[in-house]
Homo-oligomer: A and B are copies of this chain.
């Protein structure tokens, strides 16, 4: 259980099979985000039909609502949300950093206030494991300390050391058979700290290794460089998970650098803001050019949305704030990502990954920085309204 079998490589890129309690996951794999036990707008059946094999849920959110004991009583998260595929839960480390208020961290754990009602709570490495065991995910994560990407080296070092200590405590606390526990490499943007972190954690008996603290505001070249460095340091016989990545182009770039597992709220989140993926880049469906467009948003796409609705209709639904808009856009973006990841995998298997990657990156126009910033703004607003994922 929990092993990865690498079937083929292309440079550092790997195509494999990851064994979980809920089936064999073909890697590389992208996990859509179901923070609160729901991939926003979709039923579990939809998620499955889109070819998704594993979703990510967040311990922090589920702990606060509906509460761990409710999920446990209802038979675990798989049963609660009626999802038969694999689940990966983040420990709460990142959400304690990004969402909660009045956080106090010490070596013991984290005291925080709920972003929902301000109530006070404590997370420790041991509790993070206990909660994740109750939730019953196939892959669970150690509690880590996350910090801003532009913190001082001293501060990054301190958080890294604490993350290491917590990782050991998590490993000791974990005793649920069959459930994989992954460590999280930290060390910010400092290659020597990253190396230190990878060395420390890979000496311990984790089922897999995640790269944390990236894609949180640092330049993209840094994300890619650290990812590349990490892959060289992580064991080849264990799965590698890049947390919180990514955009279509980032997934391709980071598969090239040796990543097996991705999770990202972006495809679903930008969908709800009307940003739809196409082979030539992201488009804004609310743009007036789509007002009367009879064809689908992406004529090459076979998803339910593109097979049934014109760009004009989607444009109308978004302009009218119809709830169906968010669902149809989410279906399209996840279909796009599902197809992309499958094509990446197939190209590794048949030895054409390098061509595929070059062609994709040459065709897919990366979303410019202004759009990203605008997107981030919308997300921050959504976060305040408690509608984020």
Closest B residue by C-beta to A312: B74
A:24-72 near B, CB below 8 Å = 36-38, 40-45, 61, 65-66, 70
CB distance from A312 to the nearest CB of B (A): 5
Question: In whole angstroms, what is the CA distance A37 to B41 when docked?
Answer: 19
A195 interface hit (Cβ, 8 Å): no
Contact B327 A66 (CB under 8 A): no
A387 interface hit (Cβ, 8 Å): yes
Contact A316 B43 (CB under 8 A): no
Contact B291 A74 (CB under 8 A): no
Q: What 0/1 pattern do residues 277 to 298 of A give for CB contact below 8 A with B?
A: 0000000000000011010000
Question: In whole angstroms, what is the CA distance A126 to B7 when docked?
Answer: 70
Question: In whole angstroms, what is the CA distance A294 to B74 when docked?
Answer: 6
Contact B80 A310 (CB under 8 A): yes
A:297-311 near B, CB below 8 Å = 304, 308-310
Question: In whole angstroms, what is the CA distance A324 to B34 when docked?
Answer: 11
Contact B316 A65 (CB under 8 A): yes
With a cutoff of 8 Å between Cβ atoms, the chain B residues found around residue A316 in the complex are: 36-37, 65-66, 70, 80
Question: How many chain copies does the complex carry?
Answer: 2
CB distance from A210 to the nearest CB of B (A): 26
Contact B319 A66 (CB under 8 A): yes
CB distance from A351 to the nearest CB of B (A): 40
Contact A323 B386 (CB under 8 A): no
Chain A interface (Cβ < 8 Å from any Cβ of B): 36-38, 40-45, 61, 65-66, 70, 73-74, 80-82, 291-292, 294, 304, 308-310, 312-313, 315-317, 319-324, 326-328, 386-387
What are some 29 contacts across the A-B interface (CB < 8 A)? A36-B320, A36-B322, A37-B316, A38-B320, A38-B324, A40-B323, A41-B324, A42-B324, A43-B304, A43-B327, A43-B328, A44-B308, A65-B316, A66-B291, A66-B312, A66-B316, A70-B291, A70-B312, A70-B316, A73-B292, A74-B294, A74-B313, A80-B316, A81-B313, A321-B386, A321-B387, A323-B323, A323-B326, A323-B327
